[in-house]
Chains A and B, each alone.
Chain A
Amino acid sequence: MSRTKLDLWVGFFVVIGMGALLFLALKVGNLGGSNFTDTYVVMARFDNIGGLKVRAPVKSAGVVVGRVTNIGFDTSGYRAEVTFALDTRYQFPRDTIATILTSGLLGEQYLGLDPGGEAEMLKGGEVVQITQSAVVLEKLIGQFMFDKAAEAPAN
């Protein structure tokens, strides 16, 4: 086989391989769109984070505005410390409420942000003061059964 034809075929092969990788990155992965370039990091402490995981989305009004970057445990207050990166395009007031929510009944958990009304905005490295823990389904069911048992007429 001649040299130029060989080069042509190998070039063709490399282009196809790179194209496949590009397809994986843009169409299958989340490189396009939801990847944030400029971010600022904020922290929030929760009593219970349920099944929240690192890289879970942070949403406000249903729009993804950031991602959870780290989850730790604060031994001084025995609470979970959730660190998350927010896109710099989105600024939130300082009295924003951070809640752990579930998408769907059994879907993955995400961090929801409900903006407050304060004029001053959250800055990088600050801590969100008002938080609401995850709803633990087992606790809810336990509570419900306890209430039902208390309601039942004694006989």
Chain B
Amino acid sequence: MNGLLNVVRLLGAMVTEAIWRTGFGARFFILLLRHSGQSLTRVHLTIRELYFSGVLSLLIIVVSGLFVGMVLAMQGYETLQRYGSGDALGVLVALSLTRELGPVVAGLLFASRAGLAVTAEIGLMKTTEQLDAMDMMAVNPIARVVAPRFWGGVISMPLLAALFSAMGVFGGWLIGVVLIGVDEGAFWSQMQAAVDFRFDIMNGVVKSVVFGAAVSLIAVFEGYDCTPTAEGLSRAITRTVVTSALAILALDFVLTSLMFRGQS
């Protein structure tokens, strides 16, 4: 009987904790937005973060985009060929990349490449009491440390996702046209006929902006909120990766059903 009560109590504690953290996260987000002014007026703070989250992610994004596009073309051709429509390979590659794979896979890579680093950096600053020291010097740590990292992520994510999609299409072209021998004219013209700029590409960009904001918010929040010990820091980093991946996939489902359901 006592054991059962304990289980129920544990469940209650978990739910309360989850609600409390969500509320704290929302208040943190509002605070972050209110203190964002400085990161926009003192541009070099944000530019430094753009370098760390954007420029240093270039290599992994380019290489993975290329390989995802190449695999997509290989597997897609196999199936399309069975129905005698191998020419539609360009459509398959471009639509799946611009609508889904570009934003989602780039977002997952971005979370594990840049988001994790942000959590570790802020968490370590908190553990070594640098954030408190800043507060003592009347420097707001949210304006000085958190907001630039957040905006750096929000700005670099759509650029990385666009690069990922472009590299994927290039990879698909490489395998489809150069290696397999799909007709080049059909590849591009069918792609251009099927992919709409506003409907497909811009919706992909909107998705990547949303994912960038979600991943960056989770990363800075977990760092700022971590228990200031070595173990707390490692748990915060783990939570960043897991929560961002789940957030990206869940948001992608919601956005896709809002954007593309019942249309074409």
- Residues of A at under 8 Å CB distance from B? 1, 3, 6-7, 9-10, 12-14, 16-21, 23-25, 27-31, 33-35, 53-55, 57
Q: Which residues of the partner chain A approach B162 to less than 8 Å between Cβ atoms? A: 17, 20-21, 24
How many residues does chain B have at the interface if contact means C-beta atoms less than 8 Å apart?
A: 33
What 18 new A-B contacts, CB under 8 Å, besides A13-B54, A21-B201?
Answer: A6-B44, A6-B48, A6-B51, A10-B50, A13-B58, A14-B159, A20-B165, A21-B166, A24-B165, A24-B169, A27-B188, A28-B94, A28-B98, A29-B98, A29-B196, A29-B200, A35-B197, A53-B264
Q: Are A21 and B205 in contact (CB under 8 A)?
A: yes
Total A-B pairs in contact (CB under 8 Å)? 93
Shortest distance from the beta carbon of A68 to any chain B beta carbon, whole Å: 11
Given A23-B166, A24-B169, A55-B264, A12 and B55 touching (CB < 8 A)? yes
Contacts of A13 in B (CB 8 A): 50-51, 54-55, 58, 156, 159
- Please give the residue numbers on chain B whose beta carbons come within 8 Å of chain A beta carbons, in ascending order: 44, 47-48, 50-51, 54-55, 58, 94, 98, 156, 158-160, 162-163, 165-167, 169, 188, 191-193, 195-197, 199-201, 205, 263-264
B193 near A57: Cβ-Cβ < 8 Å: yes
* Cβ B163 vs Cβ A20 within 8 A: yes
Of the candidates A6, A18, A24, A29, the one having the most CB atoms from chain B within 10 angstroms of its own CB is A24
20 contacts between A and B (CB under 8 A): A1-B51, A10-B50, A12-B55, A13-B51, A14-B50, A16-B163, A20-B165, A21-B159, A21-B162, A24-B162, A24-B169, A25-B201, A28-B94, A29-B195, A29-B197, A30-B195, A30-B196, A34-B192, A34-B193, A53-B264
